[in-house]
């Protein structure tokens, strides 16, 4: 009788071989073709089957590929060939599209970057940051990247935070949560409030090679909220209302929610004399808010509950994750809200 373990090993080996074989096949983009190229096609084994593209009159396209079998027709009037097309068919050569630039990869160093720019380099770092900011405003992420990297390695927390965003979202670079955590950690250590919130979200979710550490996440959220970062204020405000990893304190909850801007309506709801004195858990709190017929929050709440399977793992786990996702969705942009009470 065959050993089931050996069968699994053989199957795993076959899958691995198939995966490697598939990975080694060139893609259509590598072949410089604007259309899928089947491995069974005669074009597939040519070094550059689509090196020359031509627009030809529709009525002559079939004739072109019949008389030039090394070429292939795409659509009604486009023909691609590995070499120049001989003969006169009324063709007009298409300028080949430039190859996409290679993805930028970042190898996370074993040591953190400098924290703080030396006094003698501050003018240079600020100039690099201003130049990068102008490029980022025009979505020229790849052009901004080397300037940001240079400033970040000088210790500039703005550049470090922005690299965290680029790596988190994959703007101009290959998305890499470990690189994002590396740069957010450096900026957060220098007190960058948005990076503190972002890093807290990564600890909340266990992203970027960081351990899943709700206590560390809360610590970072509090630091960010103390500096007036709106999403951190909202997240910590909810935690104070529910007593999740902080003492239950409605007064602080209301102050933080009101300071956050977007949480003002929740603060109003909590100040309502008809509001329950306390909520048993996040589900009870969510049901109360939904009962106030705030359609936007009710929809968001339902979505969050569905995502977490209705688990009572803490209201903040749902809301904090939701706020973190919103922050990532807006490119890590800060709301310039510097108000709000300090948290002691």
- The reported pLDDT for the residue numbered 321 is 54
Domain boundaries, the chain: 27-94, 115-187, 191-344
Longest dimension (CA), the chain: 87
For 119-126, what is the mean pLDDT? 96
Chain centroid to CA 52: how far?
Answer: 37
Measured distance CA(151)–CA(31) in Å, rounded: 37
- The reported pLDDT for the residue numbered 194 is 94
Per-residue pLDDT of 274-297, as tens digits, reads 999 999 888 888 888 888 755 555
- The reported pLDDT for the residue numbered 322 is 54
Residue 78 phi/psi, 5-degree rounding, is -115, 140
Neighbouring C-beta atoms of residue 87, cutoff 10 Å: 9
Measured distance CA(44)–CA(50) in Å, rounded: 10
Is residue 213 very low, low, confident or very high in pLDDT (cuts 50, 70, 90)? very high
Per-residue pLDDT of 312-341, as tens digits, reads 344 444 455 555 555 555 555 554 444 444
- The reported pLDDT for the residue numbered 227 is 95
For 69-93, what is the mean pLDDT? 87
Q: Using alpha carbons only, how large is the chain's radius of gyration in Å?
A: 28
Residue 302 phi/psi, 5-degree rounding, is -60, -40
Please check whether residue 315 is in contact with residue 285, taking contact to mean a CB–CB distance below 8 angstroms.
yes
In terms of pLDDT, which residue wins out, 289 or 146? 146
Task: Flag whether pLDDT at 146 surpasses 50.
Answer: yes
Please check whether residue 315 is in contact with residue 287, taking contact to mean a CB–CB distance below 8 angstroms.
no
Measured distance CA(84)–CA(280) in Å, rounded: 76
Measured distance CA(158)–CA(161) in Å, rounded: 5
Contacts for 89 with CB less than 8 Å, ≥ 6 apart:
54, 56, 57, 60, 63, 64
- The reported pLDDT for the residue numbered 22 is 34
Please check whether residue 51 is in contact with residue 28, taking contact to mean a CB–CB distance below 8 angstroms.
no
In terms of pLDDT, which residue wins out, 307 or 64? 64
For 116-129, what is the mean pLDDT? 96
Average pLDDT, the chain: 79
């Amino acid at each position: 009788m065959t050993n089931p373990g050996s069968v699994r090993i053989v199957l795993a080996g076959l899958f691995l071989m198939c995966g490697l074989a598939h990975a080694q096949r060139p893609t259509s983009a590598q072949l410089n073709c604007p259309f899928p190229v089947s491995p069974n096609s005669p074009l597939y084994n040519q070094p550059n089957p689509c090196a020359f593209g031509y627009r030809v009159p529709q009525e002559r396209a079939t004739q072109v590929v019949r008389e030039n079998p090394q070429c292939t027709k795409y659509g009604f009037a486009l023909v691609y060939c590995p070499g120049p097309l001989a003969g006169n068919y009324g063709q007009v050569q298409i300028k080949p599209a430039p190859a996409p630039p290679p993805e930028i990869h970042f190898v996370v160093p074993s040591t953190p970057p400098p924290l703080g720019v030396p006094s003698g380099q501050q003018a240079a770092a600020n100039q690099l940051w201003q130049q990068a900011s102008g490029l980022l405003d025009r979505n020229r992420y790849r052009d901004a990247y080397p300037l940001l990297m240079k400033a970040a390695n000088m210790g500039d927390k703005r550049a470090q935070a922005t690299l965290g965003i680029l790596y988190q979202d994959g703007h101009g670079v290959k998305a890499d949560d470990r690189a994002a955590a590396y740069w957010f950690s450096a900026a957060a250590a220098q007190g960058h409030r948005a990076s503190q919130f972002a890093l807290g979200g990564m600890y909340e979710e266990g992203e970027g090679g960081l351990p899943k550490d709700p206590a560390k996440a809360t610590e970072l959220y509090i630091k960010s909220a103390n500096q007036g970062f709106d999403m951190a204020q909202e997240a910590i405000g909810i935690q104070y209302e529910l007593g999740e990893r902080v003492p239950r304190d409605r007064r602080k909850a209301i102050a933080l929610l009101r300071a956050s801007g977007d949480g003002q309506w929740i603060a109003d709801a909590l100040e309502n004399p008809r509001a329950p004195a306390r909520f048993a858990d996040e589900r009870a709190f969510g049901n109360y808010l939904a009962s106030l017929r705030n359609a936007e929050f009710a929809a968001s709440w339902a979505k969050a509950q569905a995502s977490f399977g209705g688990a009572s793992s803490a209201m903040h786990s749902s809301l904090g994750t939701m706020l973190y996702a919103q922050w990532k969705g807006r490119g890590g942009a800060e709301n310039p809200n510097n108000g709000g009470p300090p948290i002691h």
